[in-house]
Amino acid sequence: MSLTFFYSPMSTADITNLVFCELEVPHETIIVDLKKGGSQTPEFLKINPNGKVPVLVHDGVAIWESTAITMYLGETFGVAKGLYPAPGPQRGQAMAWITWANVTLAEAVNRFTRNTMEWVPAEERNPKAGEAGLRATHACLQILNDALAAQQFLVGSYTLADTHVLSLTDWLRHMQIDFTNYPHLNAWHQRCTARPAYKASLAAMGAGA
């Protein structure tokens, strides 16, 4: 079997890095230097025409989009390791949370950042749209907090749905979004970040692989 992970630290690919740290599946990691245009070379665009990381190449077949990668790695390697539900309603719930993170939560956060952050040219920013994006982000965090009020993890015991959503919420924390009002979400964060895989993922991010 050949399994290659195209990675860039401090990017969406950190989700996949954490998924790999949980799964401990042997694979090769190739660092893509985004600052040097590494995702825009003709060779890379053949693997992912979107020019983005993460990308997984499994036995010669390229799989892109972090949600698809988490679900694919989950069903391929995670079920046997107790980290992803077998086919059935719990599998559906795991897929719902993974998709929700990238579609619903990330859309709200992107709306906030695109309209407020200095790296976007001032003439392209709309402060009112930014405020609406931040409100939508907090509505999502409230949903997550409420879901975690009655259970320790998103779907039964710890799964890659927790891994995926955790990694995305870390990005929000990095952007100084206020988590003060989400006690259940914060307790879950502590449970998840106490796992050895989380510490290993930070080391891999720092080492660039």
Ligand X SMILES: N[C@@H](CCC(=O)N[C@@H](CS)C(=O)NCC(=O)O)C(=O)O
CB of 143 vs ligand X, minimal distance in Å: 20
CA atoms within 13 A on the CB side of 145: 13
* 66 is a contact residue toward ligand X (CB under 6 A): yes
* 12 is a contact residue toward ligand X (CB under 6 A): yes
Q: Are 198 and 21 in contact (CB under 8 A)?
A: yes
Any idea what DSSP says for residue 64? Answer: E
Q: Are 3 and 28 in contact (CB under 8 A)?
A: yes
Any idea what DSSP says for residue 25? Answer: -
- Spatial neighbors of 171 by CB under 8 A, at least 6 apart, are 14, 109
Q: Residue 9 is encoded by which pair of tokens? A: 């630290």
Q: Which of 39, 113, 145, 167 binds ligand X (CB under 6 A)?
A: 39
Of 47-55, 121-129, 133-141, 201-209, the window that binds ligand X (rule: CB under 6 A) is 47-55
Q: Are 74 and 26 in contact (CB under 8 A)?
A: no
* 200 is a contact residue toward ligand X (CB under 6 A): no
- Per-position x/- string for 79-108, each x denoting binding to ligand X as judged by CB under 6 A, each - no binding: -----------------------x------
Residues touching ligand X, count (CB under 6 A): 12
Q: Which residues partner with 63 through β-bridges?
A: 56
Judged by CB, which is closer to ligand X: 66, or 115? 66
* 65 is a contact residue toward ligand X (CB under 6 A): yes
CA 93 centroid distance within chain: 16
CB of 169 vs ligand X, minimal distance in Å: 15
CB of 166 vs ligand X, minimal distance in Å: 15
For ligand X, the binding residues (CB under 6 A) are 11-12, 34, 39-40, 51-54, 65-66, 102
